[in-house]
Structure 1
Amino acid sequence: MPRELTEYDIRILRKLAPECEDLICNGTRTEFRSILPPVANHYSTDEHDFKSRLERLTNEELEYLIEQMRSGSESVGCISPFFFSGLLDLVTRRLSKRAAQELFSIYENDEGCG
């Protein structure tokens, strides 16, 4: 269930991808509806770059993104498993192994991409 990005979402997106000038997907010419897919699929050069970008998040921002994933508002199904593993590593290290396991379950069941 993609959402319209809030000001807080946009601040997080631009923190992760400062080069993001507009909120339009070049491929579909539609507005971004999630934060992590554009960072992974449009701005990160590889898995290491994606993981480095994620390191910029505060724990509060990370928890916010997880809550958006729980609710189905933050789609992650179109993120490469290699990229997603960087997110899982970060969540395990900074939050908990249990949170990472929950995230993995969400990822496995996410059919869409925002």
Structure 2
Amino acid sequence: MARILSERDTMILKKAAPECTGLACAGSGGPYRSILPPLANHYAADSADFRERLERLDDDDLRYLTGLILDGSESLGCVPPGYIEVFLTFIADRLGRDAALSILQHYESEDGCVP
């Protein structure tokens, strides 16, 4: 489900990617509709950098992001598989294995890319 990023969404994206100055996808020209796809595809240099950027988020940010994923508001469809693995491991470490498994199940049932 595509959404317009809220003030909190924007704050989380800019916390993870301080160099983010605009909220438009360089590829499509459209506005970002999720947090993780632009973080993975436009700001992180590689999967290690992606993890370092996730480490900037506190547990409250991660719980919020997890909630968005599980309710279908946050798309994971455009996030490269290697980055999904990093994200799932990170969530398991910070929020627990059950949270990571719930996200994995949602990811496996999701289709399409919403930047």
Residue 35 of structure 2: aligned partner = 35
User: Identity percentage over the alignment?
Assistant: 46
Q: Does 1:61 align with 2:61?
A: yes
SS of the residue 2:2 aligns to: coil
1:26-105 equivalences under 5 Å are: 26-105=26-105
SS of the residue 1:64 aligns to: helix
Q: Normalised by the size of structure 2, how large is the TM-score? A: 0.96
Residue 62 of structure 1: how far off its partner (Å): 0.3
Give ranges in structure 2 of 5+ residues lacking alignment.
none
Residue 7 of structure 1: how far off its partner (Å): 0.5
Residue 6 of structure 1: how far off its partner (Å): 0.5
Give ranges in structure 1 of 5+ residues lacking alignment.
none
CA distance in 2: counterparts of 1:95 and 1:51, whole angstroms: 15
Residue 63 of structure 1: how far off its partner (Å): 0.6
Matched positions, count? 114
Letter of the structure 2 residue corresponding to residue 29 of structure 1: G
Residue 112 of structure 1: how far off its partner (Å): 2.4
Letter of the structure 1 residue corresponding to residue 83 of structure 2: F
Indicate conservation of the 8 Å contact 1:36/1:76, yes or no.
yes
Q: Normalised by the size of structure 1, how large is the TM-score? A: 0.97
Residue 111 of structure 1: how far off its partner (Å): 0.8
Indicate conservation of the 8 Å contact 1:2/1:113, yes or no.
no
Residue 113 of structure 1: how far off its partner (Å): 2.4
SS of the residue 1:62 aligns to: helix
Supply the RMSD in Å over aligned alpha carbons.
0.8
